[in-house]
Structure 1
Amino acid sequence: MWATGEAYEPYVGRWSRSVARHFVLLLDAPPGGSWRDVGCGTGAVTRAVLDLAEPETVVGIDPSPGYVRYARRNITDPRALFVLADAVNLPFADATASAAVSGLVLNFVPDAPRAAAEMARAVRPGGLVAAYVWDFEEGGMEAIRAFWEAASALDPDARDLDEAVRFPLCGREPLRELLVGAGLDDVAVEAIGVPTHFSDFDDYWQPFLGGQGPAPAYVASLPQERRTELRERLRAALPRAADGSIPLRARAWAARGTRTA
């Protein structure tokens, strides 16, 4: 589902970068230390850590060779290293990192509790573990919420593909429970809201043709006639500003905790 950074960036990456910066600032971590970015993708969280947290090193891991190549190509800071690895089998010794973070990933991991436990294992006692996920419910990630509402109105079977149905982890309480279950202390969850402004309808629609992610994969599965019907339903349903732009918002849930000392 997730293979190339070039397709991801216009779809979700541009908004993920904005959330990543808010996320890192929210953590208020002390400068220095060694960070782990689990499921680094195109490097949005790694870039934010480098820019805002003054780390000594950041190691990003991802199972996608395409994403690792993209991150290496676009982030050349000598403090950053990107390696191929899986979230449920992190290639790090116990208690060797000061922080382990993850952005927009844990809901896609088949065994999210194990991934959270691996992040906790990798940090030192008193170290930080934190993650954020999109809120796919009403009032959350509005661009994707609008898509599935239109798709489900035309195709009842599309409801089963909706991220709000598929990913129950993407809520305040489930995310909190995930970190508590990993043995972390002082777990807190906060909302991060960002604007997602589309210059026009094409700016909104074109990324859904990239084939990556649940919604674009659904679009790719449709015959041309049904794809056109969905596109025109969305065109009519989305809000418009006076200049023709589409003003939407996105919300993510961000959770943090500390490893038991």
Structure 2
Amino acid sequence: MGRWSRLVADEFVAWLGCRDGLRWVDAGCGTGALSAAVAARCRPRRVVGVDRSAAFVGAARASAPASACFVVGDGMSLPVRGAGCDVSVSGLVLNFLPVPSAAVAEAVRIVRPGGLVAAYVWDYAEGMEFLHRFWAAATAVDPAAAELDERRRFPVCSPERLRSLWTNAGLADVAVAPIEVATVFAGFADLWEPFLAGQGPAPGYVADLAPAARARLRDTLRAAVPTRPDGSIALTARAWAVRGTPVGAAT
């Protein structure tokens, strides 16, 4: 997912349209793709990336721009004082948190009134074409796989749910927008091999399969995807982005 998430991060930061010189927090920063996009586009005064994974933080630090720093911490309890930043963002994280509303409330706490709280998530319900095709193939081979499809597991990843989360958190001027990127694979191997990595719901499912079942899934998926004459596979991926402005005093 990393190659596509970097493209979405850049489009998301452009959509925010923030001025230079602001203080940013990137909650659930992972390996730093969103922080890097902020640093490249917005000339921030400072970007603080926070993630629970020490390995991710280490990777982010290894390629950190001068304006960014990364710390190990919890997105549900950010190491930032109240109203301590201008913009709080998170990328592709909200649906993995146990209580998304608590994470949004924490973001509101750390952003000054008039600042910005924003996030984006993949549109698992309708917009992730290569995942839809994967789970359709998996379900054709193993009907029980339907229960693992992210469309069922991540209901927060919809424009209505995101708008409700931001509005219920007391944010004003709430806006939701789609961000769509092309996901072009050089060939079937380019599409299939990332599913063998073992990290994430779909790769985890593949890792648990017996070799014969894995081969059946591979062949079923190969037959289902649209392949161009040159062997490439052109699909699309969509994320939903949301933003809003704190209007009251921080608590």
Task: Pick the TM interval, shorter chain.
Answer: over 0.9
1:180 CA drift (Å) = 1.2
1:54 to 21, 36, 43: 43
Question: What TM-score does the superposition give when structure 2 sets the normalisation length?
Answer: 0.97
1:74 CA drift (Å) = 2.1
2:157 to 156, 170, 173: 170
Q: Distance in 1 between matches of 2:169 and 2:141?
A: 41
1:137 CA drift (Å) = 2.0
Q: Distance in 1 between matches of 2:80 and 2:225?
A: 45
1:215 to 177, 198, 202: 202
Matched-pair identity in % = 54
1:215 CA drift (Å) = 0.4
Structure 1 residues 47-76: Cα deviation after superposition (integer angstroms, max 9, x where no partner): 11000111010000111111111111122x
1:81 aligns with 2:69: yes
1:111 aligns with 2:80: no
Q: Distance in 2 between matches of 1:163 and 1:248?
A: 18
1:38 to 16, 21, 27: 27
Which residue does the alignment assign to 2:174? 187
Which residue does the alignment assign to 1:6? none
Q: Distance in 2 between matches of 1:205 and 1:162?
A: 17
Q: Distance in 1 between matches of 2:113 and 2:165?
A: 18
CA RMSD of aligned residues (A): 0.8
Q: How does 1:133-152 map to 2 (within 5 A)?
A: 133-138=121-126, 140-152=127-139
Question: What TM-score does the superposition give when structure 1 sets the normalisation length?
Answer: 0.93
Q: Distance in 1 between matches of 2:117 and 2:60?
A: 22
The one-letter code sitting in structure 2 at the alignment partner of 1:80 is A
Structure 1 residues 192-250: Cα deviation after superposition (integer angstroms, max 9, x where no partner): 01000100011111111111110000001111110110011011101111210000100
Q: Which runs of 5+ in 2 are unaligned?
A: none
Structure 1 residues 110-166: Cα deviation after superposition (integer angstroms, max 9, x where no partner): 11100010011110011100000000123x011111111111111121111111000
The one-letter code sitting in structure 2 at the alignment partner of 1:166 is R
1:203 aligns with 2:173: no
Q: Distance in 2 between matches of 1:234 and 1:215?
A: 13
Q: Distance in 2 between matches of 1:72 and 1:157?
A: 40
- Secondary structure in structure 2 of the residue aligned to 1:35: strand
